[in-house]
Amino acid sequence: MRCEYGFGVFGATGTVGRAGLEAAGQLGIGVDVLAAAGNVEGMLQLYAQHHPRLIIMADDAAAAALAERLPAGAGCRVEHGDEAMCAAAAGCATMLAAVSGAAGLDSVLAAAGEGRRILLANKEALVLAGDHVLAAARAAGGQVVPVDSEHNALAELLLLAADRRDAIERVWLTASGGPFLNHPGDLEEVSPEAAVRHPVWSMGAKISVDSATMMNKGLEVIEACRLFSLTADQVEIVVHPQSVVHAIVEFADGGCLAQCAPADMRSTIARAIAWPEIPAVRFGRIDWRKLGSLQFQQPDNDRFPCLQLAYQALAAGGSAPAVLNAANEVAVHSFLRRELNFSAISKVVAETVAAEAGAADTLSDLVAADSKARAYAGRAIKVSSLC
Ligand code: MG
């Protein structure tokens, strides 16, 4: 298929999408396609700043509302729905995949199938069907560049250590620990507002809650295994509240290489855009004289069981990672709507994985497992007294 567009941002009105637009703007890259779920006001703002040729809203009412409010003669087409989203992704030379959750999978697969360059912030797509996404991209001659800061850092370390890959024994991903790392009391009653108040990174609601439960790091372990062909016992997690070090590779002799960068998504996305070059823009810098101390500590698996649930799902294989991801999305959205306690998120996930995970050979097996897991988790939340 002909490449109709240059750069497209999918999930444009979210935090990563906006950071990506800023990074691209600083690098002098215009944007042709913007896609989002239903945020009309946000999209109007982005239209005024970036003048894309095509806007896609997942929601048809949002698309109609947007089309009505665009200035006459705007020269911008407005489309809606999953099919339009996929066609646009397949037609972009480079897509920033920043849709949150499994909803982003189809457009990523569409771009992968056409061999496009995918700057991947949507870790759920890799957790749900990573092998299929990566195989499709490889077969079509495309490229998947991780935008998740730890994986972006790891990609860089592995590039630097390419001649010594056989001597790498394991890798470390850092976790900030989220807002409840040092929370004094019970986590039972913490509010959605407190959970989304991340101490270091500015992020959307879903990933902020994932960060607070440590599920984000669990999903990232799976993401790292998929992206870099690692096994679960080669990926270690260490809590590092300052988020200065993002990833570490450890060699057979105990020597380590660590990647450090300012904790700013614009910086990570600029790196992904320019990959494998170093971008010609800077978003902050680390003043090592002012850092004081950097801390590293063991994750607390008793208080935050989600990380271990992800390791277990990875070990179980089959549909287990897809089921884990689906149950987590349902539980997190219920928590954000105050229908579920914070500490019940991990319980819903564990129960759903125990009930629904099984063999899955094909992409359609995984997609079916995803939707069955969503239904199961929804029922589990309704019948439980977890809220
Ligand atoms: Mg991350």
Gap from CA of 2 to ligand 1 centroid (Å)? 33
State in Å: Cα 216 to ligand 1 middle: 7
Mean pLDDT of the 329-349 span: 96
Sheet of 168-175, strand order: 235-239, 168-175, 245-251, 256-260
pLDDT at 52: 97
Distance in Å, CA 150 to ligand 1 centroid: 5
Instruction: Report the b/e string of 302-315 with b at 16+ CB within 10 A.
Output: eebbbbbbbbbbbe
User: What count of Cα atoms within 13 Å lies in the side-chain half-sphere of residue 50?
Assistant: 32
> Mean of the pLDDT values across residues 171-184?
93
| Ligand 1 mean position, distance from CA 261 (Å) | 13
Cα 199 to middle of ligand 1, angstroms: 14
pTM over 0.85? The answer is yes
Q: How far is the CA of 340 from the centre of ligand 1 (A)?
A: 25
- List, for residues 227-259, the tens digit of each pLDDT value: 999 999 999 999 999 999 999 999 999 999 999
Distance (angstroms) between ligand 1 centre and the Cα of 209 equals 13
Kindly give, in sequence order, each residue whose CB lies less than 8 Å from that of residue 72, ignoring residues fewer than 6 positions away.
Answer: none
Look-up of token digits 């990523």: 108
Q: If you measure from the C-alpha of residue 146 to the centroid of ligand 1, how many angstroms do you get, rounded to a whole number? A: 10
Looking at residue 3, its pLDDT comes to 86
Q: Taking 60 as the threshold, does the pLDDT of residue 386 lie above it?
A: no
Q: How far is the CA of 211 from the centre of ligand 1 (A)?
A: 9
Ligand 1 centre to CA of 74 (Å) is: 37
Length in residues, the chain: 387
Distance between Cα 37 and ligand 1 center (Å): 22
Are the C-beta atoms of residues 7 and 254 closer than 8 Å to each other? no
User: What pLDDT is attached to residue 72?
Assistant: 84
> Chain-wide mean pLDDT for the chain?
95
Average pLDDT over residues 349-362: 97
DSSP state of 140: T
Of 67, 73, 45, the residue nearest 55 (C-alpha): 67
Categorize the per-residue pLDDT at 184 as very low, low, confident or very high, splitting at 50, 70 and 90: confident
The per-residue pLDDT for 137 is 98
Q: How far is the CA of 265 from the centre of ligand 1 (A)?
A: 10
Q: Flag whether pLDDT at 5 surpasses 70.
A: yes
CA–CA dist 86, 1 (Å, integer)? 13
Q: Which of 11-20, 80-89, 176-185 has the lowest mean pLDDT?
A: 176-185
DSSP per-residue codes, 231-286: -GGGEEEEE-TT--EEEEEEETTS-EEEEE--S-HHHHHHHHHHTTSPPS--S---
* CA 200 – ligand 1 centroid, Å: 12
Q: Ligand 1 centroid to 288 CA: how many Å? A: 22
